[in-house]
């Protein structure tokens, strides 16, 4: 290629003029066009299925099976939503889900911060061995300990004093406590607290502050962002949990949304319209919260994978 002519050198990426330049820019534009086309296709793939729910949610279950099938309902109706509130216990499921997820989040944050602080800043015999033991259970699959945990909760529930109605199958604490034990939070908190400057603790200790005072007055305000990230992560994991509530709280009074919605899909007859309405109703509040706090959500889910 003749590099003495301006604009003829494609390889170096310099600005060039004439026909070469317009061909270069044209090629770039085509490439960008196809890139955005592909990206938009996947945006439709990601959001489309949820938007499609609107159509069956606004029709009665029988008209869904009309032939030829239609996408837009002839006479949209809110009957499915009405049915959801009148004839199923949707509101009670939603309330149980909030109690379940919020309870798990609060207890997890509390225990994880304390344990993380101890592992990061306190000296005590056996610290490393204990931390290694805790960490070795980081990836224990829920399914592997499902039955023993179930048996344990069942047995504790039968004990006097600490058993029912406080703890056991079909109680809030029996549902919540086994979900608060993931070592991920302890690990995250330990890592985060140990990155704070040591001088802060030493200054506070010399001033005569107790460990508890240091934790609450100095450490907690500094790790607030990490707490929010961990909190969102735990909340999102918990309210999506299906397997544990399915076995531990199958009773009507303690059913959560995931189990409740699954129960709508009957063995023989399924009210598809109601199912669509329930799915939609469940996703709307989460979506609204997500749109306000997207950055935190993304950070939280990344923290789950990256900070291990």
Partner 1 sequence: MADSKDHVTNGVPTGQEAWAQLQLSLDQYRRMGNQYRLRTLKRASGFLAPYMILWLAFLAIPVGWAIFLSFNDDGVLAPRYWVGFENWARTFDDTELTQVVFNTSIFVVLAITIVFGLAIFLASLINNHRRGENFFKVTLYFPLLAPPILGAMIWHFMLHFDFGIVNLIKVGIFGGEGVNFLGKNPRAMGSIIAVEIWRGLGFWVLFYLAGLQSVPGELLEAAKLDGARSFRRFLRISVPVLRPLFLFALVIAIIMNFQLFDSVKILTDGGPRMGTATIVWFIYRRMFAFQDTGLAFAASVGLLIGTMLLTLAVFWLLRQRSKGET
Q: What is the DSSP string of 161-208?
A: TTSTTTSSTTSHHHHHGGGG--HHHHHHHHHHHHTS-HHHHHHHHHTT
* Nearer to partner 1 among residue 254 and residue 303 (C-beta): 303
* Start-to-end Cα distance in the chain: 52
Q: Which of 58, 175, 186, 204 binds partner 1 (CB under 8 A)?
A: 186
Q: Does residue 88 touch partner 1 according to CB under 8 A?
A: no
Q: Please, which residues bridge with residue 265 across strands?
A: 270
Choose the stretch contacting partner 1; rule: CB under 8 A; options: 17-25, 72-80, 117-125, 225-233.
Answer: 117-125
Q: Does residue 12 touch partner 1 according to CB under 8 A?
A: yes
Nearest approach, Cβ of 78 to partner 1 (angstroms)? 18
Q: Does residue 123 touch partner 1 according to CB under 8 A?
A: yes
Is the Cα torsion angle 79, 85, 90, 95 positive or negative in sign? positive
Site for partner 1 in 214-273 (CB under 8 A): 215, 236, 239-243, 247, 258, 261-262, 265, 272
Q: Which helix H or strand E contains 142, and what residues bound it?
A: none
Whether 117 contacts 193, CB under 8 Å: yes
Binding mask 140-179 for partner 1 (x = CB under 8 A): xxxxxxxxxxxxx------------------------xx-
Q: Does residue 136 touch partner 1 according to CB under 8 A?
A: yes
Site for partner 1 in 17-56 (CB under 8 A): 32, 35-36, 38-39, 42-43, 45-47, 49-50, 52-53, 56
Task: Dig out the tokens for 34 from the structure.
Answer: 């196809």
Whether 108 contacts 237, CB under 8 Å: no
């Amino acid at each position: 290629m003749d590099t003495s002519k301006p604009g003829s050198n494609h390889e170096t990426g310099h600005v060039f003029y004439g026909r070469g330049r317009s061909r270069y820019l044209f090629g770039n534009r085509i490439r960008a066009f196809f890139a955005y086309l592909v990206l938009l296709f996947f945006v439709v793939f990601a959001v489309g299925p949820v938007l499609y729910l609107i159509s069956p949610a606004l029709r009665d279950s029988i008209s869904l099976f009309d032939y030829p099938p239609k996408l837009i309902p002839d006479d949209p109706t809110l009957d499915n939503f009405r049915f959801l509130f009148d004839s199923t216990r949707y509101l009670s499921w939603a309330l149980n889900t909030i109690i379940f997820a919020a309870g798990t989040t609060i207890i997890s944050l509390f225990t994880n911060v304390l344990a993380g602080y101890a592992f990061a800043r306190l000296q005590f015999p056996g610290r490393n061995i204990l931390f290694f033991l805790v960490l070795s259970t980081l990836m224990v699959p829920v399914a592997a300990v499902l039955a023993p945990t179930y048996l344990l909760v069942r047995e504790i529930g039968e004990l006097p004093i600490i058993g029912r109605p406080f703890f056991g199958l079909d109680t809030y604490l029996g549902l919540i406590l086994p979900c608060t034990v993931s070592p991920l939070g302890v690990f995250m908190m330990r890592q985060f607290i140990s990155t704070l400057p040591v001088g802060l603790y030493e200054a506070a200790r010399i001033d005569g502050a107790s460990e508890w005072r240091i934790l609450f007055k100095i450490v907690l305000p500094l790790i607030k962002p990490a707490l929010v990230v961990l909190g969102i992560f735990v909340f999102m994991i918990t309210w999506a949990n299906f397997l544990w509530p399915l076995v531990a709280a199958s009773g009507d009074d303690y059913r959560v949304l995931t189990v409740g919605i699954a129960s709508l899909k009957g063995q023989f007859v399924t009210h598809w319209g109601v199912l669509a309405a329930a799915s939609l109703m469940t996703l709307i509040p989460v979506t609204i919260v997500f749109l306000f706090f997207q950055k935190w959500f993304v950070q939280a889910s990344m923290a789950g994978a990256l900070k291990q």
